[in-house]
Amino acid sequence: MWLVVNFKANKNLKETLDWIDAVGPSLPKSDSLKIVACPSFTALSEAKKAILVGNYPIILGSQDLSSFPPGAYTGEEPAKFLSEFIELSILGHSERRTNFGETDKIVAKKVSQAFENSIIPLVCVETPQMSIPSNCKLVAYEPVFAIGTGSPDTPENADNIALEIKNKAGADTEVLYGGSVNHENIKAFIQRENINGCLVGTGALDPGEFLKMVEICNI
Ligand code: PGA
């Protein structure tokens, strides 16, 4: 079971560290629940230290990475550099596709940079028809109408779509649901047969609400 937190551009360094210190001591050390926090690039280095010092069961991830290797690419964050800090990267999020012109081709290049640097790509798709680069075994179904709106998809529909994704990308693909997940509705999603966890934004920003979700997922 995965519980992945996407901070988006919501927390600065201090706020990220406060969140880690607020939740860290209460997190269960569980083999079956994988808790991933994806703060902004500027928080990754200190977040990694805080996780190590506190010995917290938090996997660190990024919200993006460069489609290019290190070199003359001003402003980019290559996977090779990020791999010092992170184990996973959210790729192809709909906010990146909409606001930053990310295409399937760019997402595929980012996925190969992730693989080359031993980073797990978590590829986001809005529909099961969208392209999933080969060998991606962690996919998030995030319908645009549900992202940040307070109107999630129904657990039943999300489950059907998760199955479609597994049929397309392989039965060993783990599928997360994302879009307006909170501590009140998360149980209905994770109970579904084909849903292997959730990708949460707004609903996880508050440490107390996030811990309620952890408790529900840690079964
Ligand atoms: P939300 O965002 O939980 O705020 O809807 C989820 C996401 O975009 O990953």
CA of 75 to the centre of ligand 1 (A): 25
Structure tokens at 114: 């992730």
Distance CA 102, CA 139 (A): 17
Is the distance from CB of 35 to CB of 59 less than 8 angstroms?
yes
As beta bridge partners, residue 59 has 36
For position 219, what pLDDT does the model report? Answer: 78
For position 12, what pLDDT does the model report? Answer: 98
Distance CA 154, CA 166 (A): 18
CA of 72 to the centre of ligand 1 (A): 33
Residue ranges for the chain with pLDDT beneath 70: none
Q: Return the best residue to mutate from 181, 189, 206 for the ligand 1 pocket (most ligand atoms within 8 A of CB).
A: 181
* 89 CB near ligand 1 (under 6 Å): no
For position 117, what pLDDT does the model report? Answer: 98
What does each C-alpha distance from 167 to 113, 161, 171, 177, 192 come to in angstroms? Answer: 25, 10, 6, 16, 16
**Residue numbers annotated as active site:** 93, 142
Distance CA 99, CA 82 (A): 22
For position 24, what pLDDT does the model report? Answer: 98
The residue nearest atom 2 of ligand 1, judged by CA position, is: 201
Is the distance from CB of 84 to CB of 54 less than 8 angstroms?
no
For position 164, what pLDDT does the model report? Answer: 98
Alpha carbon of residue 165 to chain centroid: 17
Q: Residue 79: CA atoms inside 13 Å, Cβ hemisphere, count?
A: 22
The residue nearest atom 3 of ligand 1, judged by CA position, is: 201
* 199 CB near ligand 1 (under 6 Å): yes
Counting from 1 in the atom list of ligand 1, the atom nearest the Cα of 95 is 8
For position 46, what pLDDT does the model report? Answer: 98
Structure tokens at 75: 């402003």
CA of 26 to the centre of ligand 1 (A): 23
CA of 17 to the centre of ligand 1 (A): 20
Q: Phi and psi (nearest 5°) for 120?
A: -75, 120
